[in-house]
Amino acid sequence: MKAPANFIVSPRWLVSVVPKRAPLENYSLVVQSGKISDVLPAPEAEQKYQGLPKYELKDHLLIPGLINMHGHAAMTLLRGYADDLPLMQWLQEEIWPAETRWVDAQFVRDGTSLAISEMLLSGTTTFSDQYFFPGSTAEAAIEAGMRCQIASPVLEFPSNWAKDAKDYLQKGLDLRDEFRPHSLIEIASGPHAPYTVSDNTLSEIAKYSNELQSNIQVHLHESAQEIEDSIKEFGKRPIQRLYDLGLLGPNTQCVHMTQLIADDMDLLEKTNTSVVHCPSSNLKLANGFCPVKELTDRGINVCIGTDGAASNNSLDLLAEIRMASLLAKGHSGDPTILDAVSSLECATINAARALGMEDQLGSLEVGKQADMVAIKLDSPESTPIYNPISQLIYSANSSNFSHSWIQGKLVMEDRKLTNLHLPSITKRARHWAERIRGASND
């Protein structure tokens, strides 16, 4: 059927996340003009909305679309390019030189389309990104009909995209103006990390973001070396430095946060700053553990990101949620931490809160945007079902996500992406890899 504007979805189970954490069985959800207009028992919907087109999803669980809070989408083109190295060596000897040689607007466009395909097929409807040529990222997202926060990168050193901090800042402001009309795109500021951005520039970012009420996303406390170097150079821990420069607050998202002492957590708590946990990337680069139990015990908002495909190497957020849940239990010695529902909250309502979009995203509530995904739970690994949320988090495979809507528009139907031509996207990615591989064999 041609995707209708107003329709009903009748899944076997529905988890709204808010207000109800428990699954609803045999409920229907009604979408009108891109928003959720009703959630009610299926027989009542049958009566009340006669004639509306209906998606009957008899073996499916419907949940809010997953929100991947941190990544570098275009780096899918460097997936598997360099593995098994410490963070600084990986960056300085492998990633940064490869980026200098290859990254341009087309690289970003092609790599982002590949990333978006992977994310849509695994249940993600919103992603946050931080990479060069962010205009190309935004264009790829718009083409796919995907929602995106773009943290426009800021560094002190030149890249193929900008020449110095001032240039990065100006380009970020221009980007804001350019994509203002697009409701799927939110432009934020992305100071790369405390060790690549000066005090002056960080203060500028704090000032702009405060004036524009825009979000900030920064890599922070990613490795032990970052803390050591900061104490040597500035006489304080990185998070203290950001706090002193006015960078922390409810609009700020700190990514990684593996090296935390009580004083650091006091600052997060006091300023209502969000943490983006990227467990696979932290494990792969052997950077340490984000203390999720201590953070959540303090009421600090924790969400989840995959990080880029060069350091994960997968953008499967469902797998990342499972990793976060298991790791939190193993690391804290407390199996009750990040139970299935709380884990799902991290990737839905907590992420919406971090984005400042809690009133629009992150749950299947009346009045919110119809960003939602359905997963089919009839395969062997999902059978039998006592609790569909347990099944989703602990055993389901993300290749069973079947349908996805963003702003009420169908972007995946029976695993077919409606706006993208996947064979051409994978073909372009393979072509890039041939060029990159060919050059490194010279």
Binding to Zn ion (CB under 5 A) within 304-323 occurs at 307
Binding segment toward Zn ion, per CB under 5 A, in 47-55, 137-145, 301-309, 418-426: 301-309
Q: In whole angstroms, what separates CA 258 from the centre of its chain?
A: 18
Q: Is the dihedral of CA 220, 223, 226, 231 positive or negative?
A: positive
Q: Which is nearer to Zn ion, 149 or 391 (by Cβ)?
A: 149
Give burial (CB, 10 Å; 0-12/13-18/19+) of 414.
Answer: exposed
Q: Which is nearer to Zn ion, 42 or 310 (by Cβ)?
A: 310
Residue 84's region, left for phi above 0, alpha for psi from -120 to 50, else beta, is left
Binding segment toward Zn ion, per CB under 5 A, in 85-93, 160-168, 300-308, 404-412: 300-308
Angle, CA of 154, 135 and 310, to the nearest 5°:
65
Q: Which is nearer to Zn ion, 60 or 221 (by Cβ)?
A: 221
Q: Which is nearer to Zn ion, 307 or 345 (by Cβ)?
A: 307
N- to C-terminal Cα separation, the chain: 51
Q: Which is nearer to Zn ion, 110 or 307 (by Cβ)?
A: 307
DSSP character for 92? Answer: I
Size of the site for Zn ion (CB under 5 A): 1
Q: How far is the CB of 311 from Zn ion (least distance, A)?
A: 7
Instruction: For 127, list phi and psi in degrees, rounded to 5.
Output: -135, 155
Binding to Zn ion (CB under 5 A) within 107-166 occurs at none
Contact 426, 114 (CB under 8 A): yes
Q: Which is nearer to Zn ion, 209 or 280 (by Cβ)?
A: 280
Q: Which is nearer to Zn ion, 116 or 255 (by Cβ)?
A: 255
State which H helix or E strand residue 31 sits in: strand 27-32
Q: How far is the CB of 99 from Zn ion (least distance, A)?
A: 13
84: three-class secondary structure by DSSP: coil
The answer to whether the peptide bond before residue 19 is cis (omega within 30 degrees of 0) is yes
Q: How far is the CB of 6 from Zn ion (least distance, A)?
A: 39
Q: Which amino acid is present at 425?
A: I
313: three-class secondary structure by DSSP: coil
Contact 115, 315 (CB under 8 A): yes
Binding to Zn ion (CB under 5 A) within 372-391 occurs at none
State which H helix or E strand residue 386 sits in: none
Interface contacts to Zn ion, rule CB under 5 A: 307
